[in-house]
Amino acid sequence: MNDFLWAAILGMFVATYVVRASFIVFGQKLRFPPAVVQALGHVPVAVLTAIVVPEALMPGGQFDVSPGNPYLVGTLVAGLVAWKTRNILTAVLVSFAVFGAMRWLL
């Protein structure tokens, strides 16, 4: 463990803890304007899509939109199954099976 890793991890702790502690610890003294609360509502979709899209379309840093890209096909399967079943665990298991089969066979 070098200094860089410790600094990264301790900073990540602070960045995570202040958000979780915001209302629980500081309570009523903290008031977010309604606009900020509404903006927060967009955070999950924005963040998760920003992570998923490059991983699905550019696995290993190479742009690949072919049907032979297991990350792309697996991601679409995960999304589709979750959309149909509303069950995240089922979606992950099914997409992992498709992903694994493609990596194994192709």
Name which position in 29, 37, 68, 105 contacts other proteins (CB under 8 A). Answer: 37
Name which position in 4, 33, 105, 106 contacts other proteins (CB under 8 A). Answer: 4
The rounded distance, in Å, linking the Cα atoms of 14 and 74 is 34
DSSP 8-state code for residue 66: S
If one asks whether residue 48 binds other proteins (CB under 8 A), the answer comes out as yes
Helix/strand/coil percentages in the chain, nearest 5: 80, 0, 20
If one asks whether residue 106 binds other proteins (CB under 8 A), the answer comes out as no
Tokens coding 23: 């209302």
If one asks whether residue 80 binds other proteins (CB under 8 A), the answer comes out as yes
> Under rule CB under 8 A, how many of the chain's residues touch other proteins?
71
